[in-house]
């Protein structure tokens, strides 16, 4: 049955790009309305309200002058005199058959604006990457926002919000949709095992989800990594090293090949030059802590010497194969240090970028690296690392990033300029909200009030793949899990699992 949209507002003026009108139904900041004339459709958004007196202006001026000596401020529209609530709206875009385009015309006075329908915005639901539902103010519309994952993810995504507004949940929702059909590989460092707990419940998890853990449970592989896979640049991208220590690592790499880490621990002091002894002592201590090597014994996930085996040597091949098949790969780092987590991420990203640079054919399966607390690797004054290189040059090799951050202002401008999809959730700081507006792919001026009032799960997306900013409501991942269980006839477990 065809939707019958509700009339929401009567326009009385259009000036300097701002529409003003009298609400016919309840509206709020962020409400979406459609101007539908014979030759065009235009999407508008409520950006504010004001009260306008219906008393003649000359009378108001006269009364104000008569009371100029009064000790209290005189209101423009006294309660005893008639006034009207007026909504102020900003044009979002003109809606054409091919999608949104810039609006270059005008809105006629005495026009009625109505609610948007799924037919108006069908272009938002044509892809496989589910981000949530279109939002009108705080109202969730039954219009899913589903974009092309290959186009969006390889051109980089940033998700910015203060703590507790739903950044990690949004990533789970995105990954859940990617498990439906393996088109884009995604690597996620699962620092709290929250991604495995959610995504392992997807009906396609056994086929399209690959998870590694130091203590694997059912459905996971053991996390075991040979130190012979590690390059000096992987180390320097994950823990601070001096120039002398970096040179020493490369000296051992050139002399001993893939066994360079083992050689650093086995070399005797008398074999080193005098200027190398101090950097060597400190470097060995750093490597011992990072790789959890005590004496000559490997105590953690990194394997060396007699602890190395074919499985640990094959770690990179297993990961790269899974990513190139378009699968989601989770690395459980809940028992590892932050530096060890960064080392694993750098190791994989470095190898994939180097490998793809060398390939002559340019037909790549898109692969994306999800980075929580992104300023650790993408922030200003951070040492050079693989994530930065992917952010700056990865797209031409089919590599992208999903950067998750609380602070947009600490990400360098050149990296932000390379990110074509920005998703903003609740931001507590006015400085961060200003940075979000300034760095958006579309004009978000005048929408500061909506930014300040975004609730948990509410977002504004600005992407080069959509010709307009899109307000989104992101459902909790538990809602998607419940739907799967209901389809499978397991409704008796829903309350128990929640």
Of 84-88, 253-257, 460-464, 485-489, the range with the lowest mean pLDDT is: 485-489
* The pLDDT of residue 328 is above 50: yes
Residue 489, pLDDT score: 66
User: Average pLDDT of the chain?
Assistant: 89
Tell me how far apart the alpha carbons of residues 370 and 133 are, in angstroms, rounded to a whole number.
22
Through-space distance between the first and last CA atoms of the chain, rounded to whole angstroms: 35
Is the whole model's pTM more than 0.85, yes or no? Answer: yes
> Does residue 78 surpass a pLDDT of 60?
no
Encode pLDDT of 474-489 as tens digits: 999 999 999 987 776 6
What pLDDT is attached to residue 359?
A: 83
Q: What is the pLDDT of residue 336?
A: 94
Alpha helices in 209-327 (DSSP H): 232-236, 243-256, 260-266, 274-291, 310-313, 315-324
pLDDT exceeds 50 at position 73: no
d(CA 129, CA 152) in angstroms, rounded, equals 9
Q: Which of 78-87, 302-311, 394-403 has the lowest mean pLDDT?
A: 78-87
- One-character DSSP codes across 157-189: EEEE--TTSSHHHHHHHHHHHHTTS--SEEEEE
Q: Is the pLDDT of residue 76 over 60?
A: no
Phi and psi angles of residue 282, each rounded to the nearest 5 degrees, phi first: -70, -40
Kindly state the tokens that stand for 23.
């609400």
Q: Are 145 and 124 in contact (CB under 8 A)?
A: yes
Burial of 214 (0-12, 13-18, 19+ CB in 10 A): middle
pLDDT of residue 490: 56
Residue 136's pLDDT band, with cuts at 50, 70 and 90, is very high
Q: Could you read off the pLDDT of 288-302 as tens digits, one per residue?
A: 999 998 877 778 899
- What lies within 8 Å, CB to CB, of 443 at 6+ separation is none
| Tokens of residue 54, six digits | 């219906």
Which of 330, 239, 326, 245 lies closest to 291, judged by CA? 239
Does pLDDT of 495 surpass 70?
A: no
What is the mean pLDDT of the segment spanning 2-12? 77
pLDDT-based confidence at residue 146 (cuts at 50, 70, 90): very high
CB 326, CB 184: distance < 8 Å: yes
């Amino acid at each position: 049955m065809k939707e019958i949209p509700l009339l929401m507002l009567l326009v009385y003026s259009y000036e300097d790009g701002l529409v003003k009108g009298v609400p016919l139904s309840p509206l709020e900041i962020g409400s979406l309305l459609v101007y539908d004339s014979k030759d065009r459709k235009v999407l508008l958004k409520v950006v504010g309200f004001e009260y306008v007196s219906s008393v003649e202006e000359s009378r108001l001026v006269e009364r104000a002058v008569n009371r100029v000596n009064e000790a209290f401020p005189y209101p423009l529209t006294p309660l005893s005199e008639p006034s009207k609530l007026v909504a102020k709206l900003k044009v979002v875009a003109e809606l054409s058959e091919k999608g949104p385009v810039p609006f270059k015309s005008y809105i006629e006075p005495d026009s009625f604006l109505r609610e948007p329908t799924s037919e108006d915005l069908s272009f938002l639901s044509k892809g496989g990457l589910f981000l949530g539902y279109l939002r009108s103010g705080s109202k969730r519309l039954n219009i899913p926002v589903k974009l092309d994952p290959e186009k969006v993810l390889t051109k980089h995504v940033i998700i910015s919000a203060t703590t507790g507004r739903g950044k990690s949940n949004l990533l789970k929702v995105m990954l859940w949709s990617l498990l439906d059909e393996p088109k884009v590989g995604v690597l996620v460092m699962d620092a709290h095992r929250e991604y495995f707990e959610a995504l392992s419940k997807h009906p396609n998890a056994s086929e399209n989800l690959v998870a590694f853990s130091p203590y694997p449970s059912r459905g996971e592989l053991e996390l075991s990594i040979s130190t012979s896979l590690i390059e000096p640049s992987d180390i320097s991208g994950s823990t601070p090293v001096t120039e002398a220590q970096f040179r020493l690592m490369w000296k051992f790499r050139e002399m001993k090949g893939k066994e360079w880490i083992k050689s650093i621990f086995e070399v005797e002091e008398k074999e080193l030059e005098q200027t190398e002894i101090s950097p060597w002592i400190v470097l060995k201590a750093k490597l011992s802590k990072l790789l959890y090597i005590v004496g000559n014994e490997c105590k953690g996930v990194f394997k060396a010497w007699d602890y190395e085996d074919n499985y640990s040597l094959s770690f990179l091949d297993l990961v790269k194969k899974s990513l190139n098949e378009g699968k989601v790969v989770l690395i459980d780092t809940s028992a590892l240090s932050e530096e060890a987590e960064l080392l694993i991420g750098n190791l994989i990203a470095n190898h994939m970028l180097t490998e793809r640079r060398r390939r002559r054919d340019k037909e790549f399966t898109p692969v994306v690296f999800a980075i929580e607390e992104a300023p650790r690797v993408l922030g200003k004054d951070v040492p050079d690392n693989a994530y930065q290189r992917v952010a700056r040059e990865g797209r031409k090799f089919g590599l992208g990033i999903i950067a998750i951050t609380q602070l947009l202002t600490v990400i360098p401008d050149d990296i932000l300029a390379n990110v074509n999809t920005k998703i903003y959730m609740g931001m507590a700081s006015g400085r961060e909200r200003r940075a979000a507006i300034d760095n958006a792919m579309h004009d978000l001026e005048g929408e500061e009030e909506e930014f300040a009032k975004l609730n948990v799960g509410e977002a504004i997306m600005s992407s080069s793949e959509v010709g307009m900013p899109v307000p989104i409501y992101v459902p909790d991942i538990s809602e998607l899990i419940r739907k799967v269980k209901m389809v499978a006839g397991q409704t008796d477990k829903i309350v128990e699992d929640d």
